[in-house]
Structure 1
Amino acid sequence: MFNKKHDVDCVYCKFGYVLTNGEDCICDKYGIIERKSKCSKFVYEPLKRIPSPPATIEKYSENDFKIS
């Protein structure tokens, strides 16, 4: 989120909306375009990014914490 270099992808653009086929987008500025097109109007919208799932916590036993 704080990284200044973002993937230029219409999925994360303020003006882009992905179509159901997943390969094309509707852009408020250019109309229907390819999803991975390089656009000069790209504005990163962090709320459109889907966060990765949380890491799984392993099960520990009481013996793992004993000092021998």
Structure 2
Amino acid sequence: MEKHGYNFPVTYRIVGENSPITILNPPGSYILDKNGYVVVHQNAVADWDNSKVDQLLEKLVNE
């Protein structure tokens, strides 16, 4: 995180602080935008290696 200059929180389960969002047990996952808003909330195993996800990530990076 420090190496790449990331400053969003990711350690809630490690440090024991309350999370601002409900943390899922695996295999749940999220995609967040640059402001920390949930763009995708997936409760199950998903295929993240596809052009639709690539396009979404590209859009989010360029916003």
**TM-score above 0.5:** no
TM-score norm. by structure 1 comes to: 0.22
Greater C-alpha Rg = 1
The structure whose residues are more often helix, as a share, is: 2
